[in-house]
């Protein structure tokens, strides 16, 4: 009796679907940072506050000036030299805090939640992450700030029309100053982003930002006058103010010089953040 053995041929393995290869490119990193920025509720709230500060404080300053003129009160020295432009950019001192703080949150916030590990795992070269965060938020802050200062000036110039502070958009230097104010606030946002990546702490980044823009200039005023004249114009906030001031004197920088000094501070902050990002783990 013979035995017949039937051998089943092995079934062919199902073909695997090849997954598309995704390359890390600068454009994709930018798109990723853009999506992350707008996915946060704090982005909408803080940008709204920055825009509100620019417009509201400019309008309040103009209304106060107009009330003094109408009542015949003696103007303070600062108010006596006020213009529609200087009144409209009065809110930059407050808007810079909102935009700078949001810049810190853009980078330091990822370190506090641990999400930065996933980001750097997706982008192993690391530096494109920093450049993309700074570029995306800097551009957003620039656009929002520029819109805000132009709106503030249009309202403010209408309020102070017919007073010694009256100016129109066609006045020499006005457009340059308004664009300079928007650029200044955009760069403040970039500095905040750099400080967040450098210090990797929301509280630390905000503290250094506030100290650099507001506290140190006040401390410098306590120094002898000769020291103030040599140091004060080159501080970040004073160099930034020179970018959008309509008039200048011997104690302030010219707009171009102020821009170059403030850009130097921005590059210095970014360089420090880049060095730490490359040298230390997340």
Structural domain spans, the chain: 26-279
Instruction: Please determine, for residue 133, whether its predicted confidence score (pLDDT) is greater than 70.
Output: yes
At 16, the pLDDT band (50, 70, 90 cuts) reads low
Tell me the torsion sign for CA atoms 219, 55, 30, 104: positive
Instruction: Please determine, for residue 108, whether its predicted confidence score (pLDDT) is greater than 60.
Output: yes
Burial (0-12, 13-18, 19+ Cβ within 10 Å), 74 = exposed
Instruction: Please determine, for residue 6, whether its predicted confidence score (pLDDT) is greater than 70.
Output: no
pLDDT, one tens digit per residue, over 226-254 is 788 888 999 999 999 999 998 887 788 99
What percent of the chain lies above the pLDDT cut of 90?
Answer: 58
Pairwise CA distance, residues 92 & 152, whole Å: 11
Provide the 10 A C-beta neighbour count for residue 152. 31
Q: Which residue has the higher pLDDT, 79 or 262?
A: 262
Average pLDDT, integer, range 113-125: 85
Tokens matching residue 14:
């199902």
At 46, the pLDDT band (50, 70, 90 cuts) reads very high
* Closest listed residue to residue 244, CA positions, set 65, 91, 138: 91
> By the 8 A CB rule, do 152 and 59 touch?
yes
Q: How far is CA 132 from CA 103, 138, 180, 225, in A?
A: 12, 10, 23, 42
Q: Which residue has the higher pLDDT, 136 or 42?
A: 136
Instruction: Please determine, for residue 175, whether its predicted confidence score (pLDDT) is greater than 60.
Output: yes
At 7, the pLDDT band (50, 70, 90 cuts) reads very low
Q: What is the secondary structure of 9-26 as a DSSP string?
A: PPPPPPPPPPPPP----H
* Closest listed residue to residue 126, CA positions, set 24, 223, 8, 3: 24
* Closest listed residue to residue 178, CA positions, set 112, 255, 114, 235: 255
> By the 8 A CB rule, do 170 and 85 touch?
no
Average pLDDT, integer, range 110-114: 87
Instruction: Please determine, for residue 103, whether its predicted confidence score (pLDDT) is greater than 70.
Output: yes
Average pLDDT, integer, range 96-122: 90
Instruction: Give 62's Cβ-side CA count (13 Å radius).
Output: 29
* pLDDT attached to residue 13: 54
* pLDDT attached to residue 141: 96
Instruction: Please determine, for residue 20, whether its predicted confidence score (pLDDT) is greater than 90.
Output: no
pLDDT, one tens digit per residue, over 146-156 is 999 999 999 99
Average pLDDT, integer, range 15-40: 77
The mean of the pLDDT values for the chain is 87
Q: Which residue has the higher pLDDT, 22 or 186?
A: 186
pLDDT, one tens digit per residue, over 217-228 is 888 888 888 788
């Amino acid at each position: 009796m013979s035995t017949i053995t039937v051998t089943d041929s092995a079934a062919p393995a199902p073909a695997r679907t090849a997954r598309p290869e995704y390359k890390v490119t600068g454009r994709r990193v930018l798109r990723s940072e853009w999506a992350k920025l707008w996915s946060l509720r704090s982005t909408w709230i803080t940008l709204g506050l920055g825009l509100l500060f620019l417009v509201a404080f400019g309008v309040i300053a103009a209304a106060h000036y107009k009330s003094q003129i109408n009542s015949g009160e003696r103007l303070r020295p600062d108010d006596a030299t006020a213009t529609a432009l200087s009144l409209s950019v009065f809110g930059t001192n407050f808007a810079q805090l909102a935009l700078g703080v949001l810049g810190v949150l853009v980078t330091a916030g990822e370190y506090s939640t641990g999400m930065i590990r996933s980001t750097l795992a997706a982008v192993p070269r690391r530096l494109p992450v920093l450049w993309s965060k700074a570029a995306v938020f800097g551009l957003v802050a620039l656009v929002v700030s520029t819109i805000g200062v132009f709106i503030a000036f249009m309202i403010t110039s209408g309020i102070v029309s017919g007073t010694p502070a009256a100016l129109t958009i066609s006045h020499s230097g006005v457009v340059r100053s308004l664009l300079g104010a928007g650029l200044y606030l955009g760069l403040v946002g970039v500095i905040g982003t750099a400080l967040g990546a450098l210090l990797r702490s929301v509280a630390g980044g905000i503290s250094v930002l506030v100290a650099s823009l507001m506290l140190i200039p006040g401390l410098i005023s306590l120094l002898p006058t000769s020291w103030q004249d040599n140091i004060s114009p080159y501080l970040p906030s004073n160099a930034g103010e020179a970018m959008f001031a309509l008039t200048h004197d011997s104690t302030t920088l010219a707009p171009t010089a102020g821009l170059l000094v403030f850009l130097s501070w921005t590059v210095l902050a970014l360089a420090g953040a880049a060095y730490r990002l490359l040298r230390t783990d997340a």
